[in-house]
């Protein structure tokens, strides 16, 4: 069963083990992923939104949110925003049956010379709670990341190819002793048309050891 909690500045969607939450922070929506552990909800990763003073924010700034239930156990957040000369949109779908959250984002600018954000950044939980993050090796496909918050289950973050857009990747780095994940397009080349339009997509899935992984 999916539980929904919402207010004017916060949303939370969860099943027995997996949670997606949004909260309005400053002038934009921040989201986080949590998992159930020993009867408590533990944050796994949190989006890094940046501020209005950033030339290029670390994640797409999304100021407007619309929430819909598309089907039984299927929900979607639709978001819009802008910063500087960039316009951003996102569709984030939570599917309870598959324990999957699908992120589909787009950035638009005037030209390739216009700086816009073309990836999403997350700050990871500390090593005491999330000791292991592994980059999978997949032949001919963008490599997914696998997070191991507890024995017997993991969270996979997998890039999804988008026809007509640059290659989408998921990268894990450590900066100032803080681990982070960036998911999106990092190599932007000349694209057809007068304006710049870049779309990136990735999925987060909760996987149990007894299930076959994708």
Structural domain includes residue 213: no
* H-type alpha helices, the chain: none
Mean pLDDT of all residues belonging to the chain: 90
State what percent of residues in the chain have pLDDT above 70. 93
Give yes or no for residue 143 having a pLDDT over 90. Answer: no
Structural domain includes residue 66: yes
Q: Which residues of 121-133 are buried (b: 16+ CB within 10 A; e: fewer)?
A: bbbbbeeeebeeb
Please report whether residue 79 resides in a domain: yes
* CATH number of the domain enclosing 117: 2.70.98.60
pLDDT at 190: 59
Question: pTM surpassing 0.75?
Answer: yes
Q: Which residue has the higher pLDDT, 143 or 80?
A: 80
Enumerate the β-bridge partners of residue 204: 101, 157
Q: How many domains does the chain have?
A: 1
| pLDDT score recorded for residue 181 | 97
Read off the pLDDT of residues 51-99 as tens digits, 9 standing for 90 and up.
Answer: 888 888 999 999 999 999 999 999 999 999 998 888 999 999 999 999 9
Range of the domain at 118: 3-208
Q: Would you say residue 214 lies in a domain?
A: no
- Angle value at C-alpha 48, between 45 and 157, nearest 5 degrees: 40
In a domain, 166, yes or no: yes
C-beta separation of 79 from 65 below 8 A:
yes
Q: Over the stretch 21-49, which tens digit does the pLDDT of each residue have? A: 999 998 999 999 999 988 889 999 999 99
- Does residue 105 fall inside a structural domain? yes
Decide if 21 is inside a domain: yes
Ramachandran category for residue 99: left, alpha or beta (phi over 0 → left; psi -120 to 50 → alpha): left
For residue 212, pLDDT over 60 is answered with: no
């Amino acid at each position: 069963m999916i539980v929904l909690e919402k207010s004017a500045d916060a949303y939370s969607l969860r099943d027995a083990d997996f949670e997606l939450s949004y909260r309005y922070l400053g002038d934009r929506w921040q989201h986080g992923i949590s998992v159930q552990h020993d009867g408590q909800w533990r944050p796994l990763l949190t989006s890094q939104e940046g501020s209005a003073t950033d030339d290029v924010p670390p994640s797409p700034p999304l100021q407007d949110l619309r929430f819909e239930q598309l089907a039984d156990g299927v929900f979607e957040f639709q978001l819009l925003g802008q910063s500087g000369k960039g316009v951003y949109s996102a569709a984030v779908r939570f599917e309870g049956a598959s324990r999957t959250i699908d992120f589909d984002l787009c950035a638009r600018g005037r030209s390739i010379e216009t700086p816009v954000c073309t990836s999403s950044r997350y700050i990871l939980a500390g090593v005491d709670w999330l000791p292991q993050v592994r980059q999978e090796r997949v032949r001919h496909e963008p490599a997914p990341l696998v997070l191991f918050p507890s024995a017997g289950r993991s969270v996979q973050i997998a890039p999804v190819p988008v026809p007509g857009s640059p290659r989408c990747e998921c990268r894990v780095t450590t900066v100032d002793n803080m681990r982070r994940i960036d998911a999106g397009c990092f190599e932007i080349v000349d694209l057809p048309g007068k304006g710049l339009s870049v779309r990136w997509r990735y999925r987060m899935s909760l996987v149990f050891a007894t299930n076959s992984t994708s």
